[in-house]
């Protein structure tokens, strides 16, 4: 689901340097609904950018914070998959200016840390996956009812205005439809890149994708774009199968239809295992099944779903000794600031589609309804 913000109010540049009062969806504590509150958003400090959010996707990772499987301090403004317009910039910002269309980046690109400097890396050390919930100076830009509100993944997009670091924002094509390309801020790029960038799926290969939410469907699209000959989609919700086939899946299977473990079913279907498998759910049992279903000697399995906090995996090391590779993928392996504008340009050239990934478009004040749709598999 994508939440759309009212777009009839033009970005008012006269707010530069001032505190903006606006509406935001605040999560005061875990396992509670979002509360639409008036918040104060401070002006951007040095090397920071204040953005008017125009559209934000609802991602399972946000829900992981609500349910406690992903740790975050409270109260917090969640959201990390969005697109908007720059309202004002802090001192020293050179890469964007007021009026630019942008996508906030939950994986920044500072260009200076080890991961940024390595051609194989993309997980910038400035990312807040450790959930500190603060800007680089150790403070927050949000207050509500006199209380400081924490940031989420350096983006916090469930608000009319947010503040991000300059390393965490990418300028995009001014003609791009923001209510579609917001998905390039997380879900689409994460799944598509897991296939193309992390696994480097080869033409003619066989793939299995576990989990057919927005990210899983994007992984299916990535496998297809890479030329995979067979793409087996795995989900316990058969309502997802039609769309998976539309986007490139050749087979769709429900583990509940079989007596034997799903990895054995896949091994039999493929005569010894798939070349590439993707776990796009965030469950330890499916991570192990995805590893076990790939070819014992040269199969590659990629963990794309966020692992649940405090859970461990026990596995037979023989699974890896025979030659399988087990990898993780954050934001599809893309270097964010470099890749996001290019992915938006590819979308504008119709290299890939985003419309099938958007099931509902809601006014953002109905964000709790959007999360209900997510939780019920709709």
Q: Return the active site residues.
A: 59, 61, 64, 80, 186
The three state secondary structure string of 80-131 is CCEEEEEEEECCCCCCCCCCCEEEECCCCCCCCCHHHHCCCCCCCCCCCCCC
Distance of CA 334 to the CA centre of its chain: 12
Which are the contacts of 197, defined by CB distance < 8 A and separation ≥ 6? 329, 332, 333, 334
Cis peptide before 75 (omega within 30 of 0): yes
Beta strands 161-165 and 82-89, pairing class: unpaired
Distance of CA 302 to the CA centre of its chain: 15
Do 151 and 134 meet the contact criterion of CB atoms below 8 Å apart?
A: yes
Tokens for 51? 């953005």
Alpha-carbon span 72 to 79, nearest angstrom: 13
Strands (E), 128-236: 142-144, 147-149, 161-165, 169-171, 206-210, 230-234
Q: Dihedral (C-alpha) 327, 256, 244, 304: value to the nearest 10 degrees?
A: -20
- Tell me the three state secondary structure of residue 159: strand
């Amino acid at each position: 689901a994508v939440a759309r913000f009212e777009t009839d109010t033009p970005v008012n540049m006269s707010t530069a340097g001032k505190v903006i009062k606006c509406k935001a969806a605040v999560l005061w504590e875990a396992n509670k609904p979002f509360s639409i509150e008036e918040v104060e958003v401070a002006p951007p400090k040095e090397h920071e950018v204040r953005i008017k959010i125009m559209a934000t996707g609802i991602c399972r990772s946000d829900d992981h914070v609500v349910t406690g499987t992903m740790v975050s301090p409270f109260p917090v403004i969640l959201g990390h998959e969005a697109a908007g317009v720059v309202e004002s910039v802090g001192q020293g910002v050179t890469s964007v200016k007021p009026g630019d269309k942008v996508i906030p980046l939950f994986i920044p690109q500072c260009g200076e840390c080890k991961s940024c400097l390595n051609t194989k890396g993309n997980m910038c050390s400035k990312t807040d996956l450790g959930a500190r919930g603060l800007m680089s100076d150790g403070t927050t830009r949000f207050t509500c009812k006199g209380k400081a509100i924490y940031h989420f993944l350096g983006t916090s997009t469930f608000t009319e205005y947010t503040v991000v670091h300059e390393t965490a924002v990418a300028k995009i094509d001014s003609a791009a439809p923001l209510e579609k390309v917001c998905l390039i801020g997380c879900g689409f790029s994460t799944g598509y890149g897991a296939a193309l960038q992390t696994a480097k799926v080869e033409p003619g290969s066989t793939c299995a994708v576990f989990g057919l939410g927005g990210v899983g469907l994007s992984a299916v699209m990535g496998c297809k774009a890479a030329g995979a000959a067979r793409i087996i989609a795995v989900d316990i919700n058969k309502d997802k199968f039609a769309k998976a086939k539309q986007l490139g899946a050749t087979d769709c299977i429900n583990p509940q239809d079989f007596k034997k473990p799903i990895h054995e079913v896949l091994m039999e279907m493929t005569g010894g295992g798939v070349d590439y498998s993707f776990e796009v759910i965030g469950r330890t049992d499916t991570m192990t099944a995805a590893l076990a279903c790939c070819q014992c000697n040269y199969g590659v399995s990629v963990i794309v779903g966020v692992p649940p906090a405090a859970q461990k995996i026990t596995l037979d090391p023989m699974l890896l000794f025979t030659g399988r590779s087990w990898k993780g993928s954050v934001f599809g392996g893309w270097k964010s600031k470099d890749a996001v504008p290019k992915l938006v340009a590819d979308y504008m050239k119709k290299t890939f589609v985003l419309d099938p990934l958007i099931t509902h478009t809601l006014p953002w004040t109905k964000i709790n309804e959007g999360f209900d749709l997510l939780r019920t598999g709709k």
